[in-house]
Amino acid sequence: MRLEVIKPEIFSKYKDVFCAVSTRIGGVSEMFYDLNLSYRVGDSNENVRMNRKIFFNYLKIDESRLVFQNQIHGSNSFYTEKSAFIINNDALYTDKRNLYLCLTIADCLPVFLYHPGGIIAAIHSGWRGSHLQIAYKTVIKICKHFAFDASELTAYIGPGLSAENFEVGREVAELFDRDVIRNREGKYFFDNKLENKNQLVKAGVKEINIEVSEYCTFKEKKLFHSYRRDGNRAGRMLGLIGLRG
């Protein structure tokens, strides 16, 4: 079965880090779910189990080495040392090898961080998380935890809603600086990718060390699930990062 997986170029020079984002291509789910990797969208559990098996076998990752979280669009971050399911959390970080930090996504951004000392983080950031400065807070927290400088980090901002398709109300637009808001024919559009990039830079990450995906989950209908586009008919992708053993 053919699968298509997105891998960041910026991490390719490092041999010990693995990062990937799934697409909707492949899988056994019927109708519109395709390669759906979430148990919480109405797809059958058996289909999701099979889809995950297909996906993780393709990546050569043991499912017993995964860390998931119950994402709540907040700014909580959690240090983990073992496979687990973390409740009420939106960012994970670790220095343990053969452990893969997973994000469930379908428009919100996956943001991944890597430090060459063997430290990784995975951040889930929709507009609410961005408003709460989750990317900035996570960088500050892990720098303090592991005692290194943010300038040593490399970051990947993955596929998500583009500014062109991320319409928000005025009340949301007013929460953010003007440089991340577009005004088009009286409507407001939010550049979440730029917002997260700005937060990383503000925290001390060098701009040259940040890769921003050009993929828009809304626009690329054949490639990605999108809740904004498909509502309850949308499946979910997974993004993950891990340190090879």
Q: Where are any strands of DSSP class E within the chain?
A: 5-6, 17-22, 66-69, 77-79, 84-86, 91-94, 100-105, 109-115, 119-125, 154-157, 167-168, 181-184, 187-190, 210-212, 237-243
- Partnered with residue 210 across adjacent β-strands are 155
Query: Mean of the per-residue pLDDT values for the chain?
Result: 97
Query: Considering the domain 5-243 in this protein, what is its CATH number?
Result: 3.60.140.10
Please give the model's pTM, rounded to 2 decimal places.
Answer: 0.98
Q: What digits encode the pLDDT tens for the residues 178-224?
A: 999 999 999 999 999 999 999 999 999 999 999 999 999 999 999 99
Q: What digits encode the pLDDT tens for the residues 148-165?
A: 999 999 999 999 999 999
Identify the pLDDT of residue 134.
98
Identify the pLDDT of residue 2.
83
Q: What digits encode the pLDDT tens for the residues 1-30?
A: 689 999 999 999 999 999 999 999 999 998
Phi, psi of 203 (to 5 degrees): -75, -15
* Structure token pair of residue 108: 């919100």
How far, in Å, CA of 101 to CA of 225, rounded?
20
Percent of the chain exceeding pLDDT 70 equals 100
For the chain, the domains span 5-243
